[in-house]
Structure 1
Amino acid sequence: MKDYSIERPRYPAHDFQRQFQMRRELFETILNAVVNHDHYFARKINVIGRQSLSPHQKLTSAFQMLANGCSANSTDKYCRLVQSTAIENLKCLCKAIEAIYGATYLCKPNLEDLKRLLRKADKRGFHGIIGSLDCMHWECKNCHTA
């Protein structure tokens, strides 16, 4: 929280964007949408009266894994989450994102979209590829299946 999410954070906004591959405002928008959608992300008080993990901790660990490709147990040092909780956060976040934004952003491409994607892929040397990028027929000197 002190690093990025308080009124006078320790690090500037461009560091947040470099760390999470998004602006802080977008992170906060997603955070609010996810907290309002799924009570899993809301901060709760446990049986012995202690506060649970904050929504910021939960989303930060999930976004670190998504944006940087880091493992679940590597989020323990920064977010103070164990591996199993980090994985659970990521799964819950993905389900919430799909439920919230799926209808808008996860729609099937129409004919115009398909033509545009095929042209773009063709320019990059991926002729006729839509969907799975299964390129097992390519010979690659460092590929263990080559």
Structure 2
Amino acid sequence: MAVHRQRRATLGASSSRRPNSQPRMFIQRNPLEGHERLWKDYFAQLPIYLPNVFRRRFRMNRDLFLRIHSAVVTHDDYFVQKKDVSSRLGLSSLQKMTAAIRMLEYGVTTDLMDEYVRIGESTARLSMKKFVKAIVSILRSPTSNVIARLLEVGQRCGFPGMLGSIDCMH
């Protein structure tokens, strides 16, 4: 127990931090390869995987994914692909959004995104945070007209008071 406390004090306040003698490891990921693989698999004119596979893996159809993608890219320029200081293209918006959605839908850790999407742990984590913030911001509170219309549609479909059901209040 005393050894653990002493080691923790040596490392600083958090035991999850790496000691200064252990520098961060740089991995040459080739982000363009990750984007090309993702594009060919799901978004090309004739993708490798059919729409039913896309729906199963992303838990939505491709058109919905692309509408969400467009809204997120428009909302936050973090998702716009940029060049680094050496004029090499960085991660694409598809890579960042795919990593975020897959982590959210499957509950996987950030390091699992590296193999397929070619995105590092810290970038995957940041992509997920920015994606969630963008979605929350885009899906702002409905107006009273929208609420009235939703209640009317719900009533016609046999679901009176459906908004109360959404937030588990009734």
Unaligned runs of 5+ in 2: 1-38, 143-150, 152-160
Q: Distance in 1 between matches of 2:58 and 2:85?
A: 33
Q: Partner of 1:103 in structure 2?
A: 141
Q: Which residue of 1 aligns with 2:108?
A: 70
Shift of 1:102: 2.7
Deviations 1:30-61 (A, max 9, x none): 00011111110001111110001000000100
Moved segments of 4+, more than 3 Å: none
Report which of the two structures shows the higher radius of gyration computed on alpha carbons. Answer: 2
Q: What is the percent sequence identity of the aligned residues?
A: 38
How far 1:117 sits from its partner (Å)?
Answer: 5.8
**1:36 to 1:77, Cα distance in 2 relative to 1, 3 A:** same
Matched, 1:60 2:98: yes
Q: Which amino acid aligns with 1:93?
A: F
Alpha carbons of structure 1 residues 49 and 14: separation in structure 2 relative to 1, 3 Å: same
Q: CA deviation at 1:6?
A: 1.0
Structure 1 counterpart of 2:48, which letter? R
Q: What residue number does 2:54 align with? A: 16
Separation in 2, partners of 1:84, 1:117: 34
- Equivalent residue for 1:125? none
Alignment match, 2:23: none
Give the TM-score of the pair, scaled to structure 2.
0.63
Distance 1:24 1:47, change over 3 A: same
Structure 1 pair 94/8, CA: closer, same or farther in 2 (3 Å)?
same
Higher helix residue share = 2
Measured in 1, the distance between the counterparts of 2:110 and 2:64 equals: 23
The equivalent residue for 1:46 is 84
Task: Could you tell me which runs of 5 or more consecutive residues in structure 1 were left unpaired when the two chains were aligned.
Answer: 105-109, 119-128, 131-146
How far apart, CA to CA, are the structure 2 residues paired with 1:70 and 1:102?
27
TM value normalised by structure 1? 0.73
